[in-house]
């Protein structure tokens, strides 16, 4: 016996309804993810922003970046040690130990990571102290603590935003950070 046409229509109707529901949910979720990459003031305004915020909190899809902003990276970096001579003039030396090699251009990831992190991590001074202690040991008898203090100088050129580049006509802004020995025990060099 052939099944009645009504019994075949019911599963097909349910299947279509479920497919449309799942498709709508997937479309809504994809739309919320796309909206997340828009600048914050656009995506958080009005009713859409309120509904989107509640949905993101419920699903854990909140994102803290935008596609239309320049990534805040360092354009380039120069790192050196400076020894102050008895007259008070800083004499530059390479900061890569052993041997006081110059900071490599283009940067090698290992050195870039170390010196970049020194500029913003709370323990940056401890790493600088370790490097300065090792440099003082390497200088040996030529290093007179009273007359030749060592300074670690990190010159970093931070990439400007696209608007800043257009307005000011320069790609990066220089920020210099100097480290002198804190006199506290250091991490192992």
**pTM higher than the cut 0.85:** no
Angle 186-135-118 from CA coordinates, rounded to 5°: 55
pLDDT given for residue 189 in this prediction: 43
Enumerate the domain spans of the chain.
5-59, 74-180
pLDDT given for residue 109 in this prediction: 75
Question: First vs last Cα of the chain: how many Å apart?
Answer: 87
With tokens 């060592």, the residue in question is: 150
Averaged pLDDT in 10-residue chunks for the chain of 189 residues: 56 79 90 75 72 79 58 78 84 88 82 84 87 86 61 88 84 88 58
Are 55 and 62 in contact by the 8 Å Cβ rule? The answer is no
């Amino acid at each position: 016996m052939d099944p009645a046409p009504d019994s075949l229509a019911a599963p097909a109707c349910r299947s279509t309804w479920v497919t449309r529901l799942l498709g709508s949910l997937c479309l809504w979720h994809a739309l919320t993810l796309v909206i997340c990459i828009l600048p914050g003031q656009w995506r958080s305004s009005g009713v859409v922003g309120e509904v989107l915020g509640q949905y993101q909190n419920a699903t854990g899809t909140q994102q803290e970046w935008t596609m239309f902003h320049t990534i805040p990276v360092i354009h380039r970096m120069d790192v050196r040690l400076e020894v102050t001579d008895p007259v008070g003039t800083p004499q530059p030396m390479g900061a890569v130990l052993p041997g006081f090699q110059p900071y490599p251009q283009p940067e090698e990831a290992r050195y870039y990571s170390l010196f970049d992190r020194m500029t913003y991590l709370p323990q940056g001074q401890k790493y600088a102290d370790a490097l300065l202690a090792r440099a003082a040991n390497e200088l040996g008898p030529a290093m007179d603590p009273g007359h030749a203090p060592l300074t670690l100088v990190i010159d970093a050129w931070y990439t400007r935003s696209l608007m800043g580049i257009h307005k000011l006509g320069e790609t990066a802004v220089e920020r210099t950070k100097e480290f002198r020995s804190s006199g506290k025990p250091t991490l192992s060099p």
